[in-house]
Structure 1
Amino acid sequence: MTNENNDEKIDDEFEATDAAFEASDEEGGQSATVQFTETRDDEMDRLRQAADSADKRVLMAQAEAENFRKRMRRDFEDQLKFAAVPLVSDMLQVRDNLHRAMESAGDDEAVAGLKGGIAIVAKQLDDTLAKHSIREIPALGELFDPNYHEAISQMPSDQPAGMVAHVAATGFQMHDRVIRPSQVIVSTGNGDTEG
């Protein structure tokens, strides 16, 4: 009898264990499916975020490349536009000397022909400079501007304080760039003091 009881007991335990396995397989299978679905959705979200991030990086790189191209083009155009600045600076000294020669010649009839010839050459040089966008910087009677004028001194004058009273050397600019600032004497105002 003990054998039969033992066999029944074993059969009962086996059936209980088998039922427990079947129940756990059903729950585990659903759990595994839910877990797989959640993992797949998380992975899809992560991949979407990575793709969005990559798209943003590509757009930023394209914008940087376009800005670089524009900057290089602008720098190249500036180099072409201002390539003659060293030559122009030297030519301005020649222009200054021509104008000084005309001023120092005076009104003597003996040098009138020479002075006229120098004036023609000076005018031709001024016209050539103007043709290449090189122009004088206005100074006399203008408000002193350190971007265009270099103050070499101050003096009392009839001009209001801060105005250019005298130009020692004419300044020039090429396009929008100052090649040489005007050397000026700035007014300190009227020398008379009211008391």
Structure 2
Amino acid sequence: MTTKPDNDDIDSARAADEAPTDDSLAEELTEASDAGGAASEIDVLRAELAEAKQRLVRGQADLDNFRKRAARELESERRYAALPLLADLLPVADNIQRAIAAAEESEHEAGLLEGFRMVADQLTSVLEKHHCREIVAHGETFDPNLHEAISLLPSAEHEPNTVMEVTSTGYTLHDRVVRPSQVVVAAEKPKEA
């Protein structure tokens, strides 16, 4: 015994297969309002549709903003990932520079001095390769963002607020200060009475 599908079943299947567009939906609703007098229901459905569209647009904008923010944060993390390592390496660079200065004062250690200079040059090259740069401070105007004043001395040879001496070199990684330069800053000349 075979059964024929009802016309209602066929119409339901066709309706499920065809995705109505906004225009066709509006036409159907208009026809329904003419036929059934449900204009207020159509207005409610149109308002709900408009609200759903607005929520969709806001949701897409929020998702786009989240993606952009996550990409910026990831780039920042990647860019500054070496910061702790560089902070640990900088005292090594300082000690090499001190050893070079001590060897320069001794006439008997010329080979040792040359070796230290080679190591210092290599370390400087590696730091620069990874965008870690020395902060130039000597003779510059004191900048609290880049320098840490450890002493303030009056000076006749230097302008006030000028770095006279660098006691510990500072470094930056990209645009971020890893360690400020420790400096001695010139104070105003003492006024004679």
Q: TM-score, structure 2 length as denominator?
A: 0.73
Q: How does 1:4-153 map to 2 (within 5 A)?
A: 37=37, 40-153=38-151
Tell me the distance in 2 between the aligned counterparts of 1:122 and 1:161: 33
Higher CA-based Rg: 1
1:179 alignment counterpart: 178
Q: Secondary structure at the match of 1:118?
A: helix
Partners of 2:121 and 2:53 in 1: CA distance: 62
Show structure 2 runs of 5+ residues with no match. Answer: 1-32
For 1:181, give the aligned amino acid: P
In the alignment, the residues of structure 2 paired with residue 156 and residue 79 of structure 1 have an alpha-carbon distance, to the nearest angstrom, of 43
The percentage of aligned residue pairs carrying the same residue is 45
1:67 partner SS: helix
- Aligned equivalent of 1:156, options 154, 157, 180: 154
Deviation at 1:194, TM superposition (A): 5.7
5+ residue gaps, structure 1: 1-32
Structure 1 residues 42 and 153, CA, compared in 2 at 3 Å: closer, same or farther? farther
Give 3-state SS (helix, strand or coil) of 2:114's partner.
helix
More helix by share: 1
Deviates more, 1:113-122 or 1:75-84: 75-84
Partner SS state of residue 136, structure 2: coil
Q: Following TM superposition, where does structure 1 have runs of at least 4 consecutive aligned residues deviating by more than 4 angstroms?
A: none
- Give the match's secondary structure for 1:106: helix
| Residue aligned with 1:110, SS | coil
CA distance, structure 1, for counterparts of residue 153 and residue 39 of structure 2: 83
Deviation at 1:143, TM superposition (A): 2.2
Deviation at 1:192, TM superposition (A): 3.6
CA distance in structure 1 between the aligned counterparts of 2:124 and 2:53, rounded to whole angstroms: 57
Whole-angstrom distance in 1 between the partners of 2:70 and 2:101? 46
> Residue by residue, what CA displacement relative to the aligned partner does 1:46-74 show, whole Å, maximum 9, x if unpaired?
33333222222222221111121122122
Aligned residue pair count: 159
Q: Cα RMSD between the aligned structures?
A: 2.3
Moved more, 180-189 or 122-131: 180-189
Measure, in 1, the Cα distance between the counterparts of 2:55 and 2:184: 56
Q: Which residue pairs with 2:22 in the alignment?
A: none
Stretch deviating more after TM superposition (46-55 or 130-139)? 46-55
Deviation at 1:151, TM superposition (A): 2.0
Residues 101-154 of structure 1, C-alpha deviation per residue, up to 9 Å, x if partnerless?
A: 111223332111111111111111111111111101121222222222222222
**Local SS of the residue matching 1:186:** strand
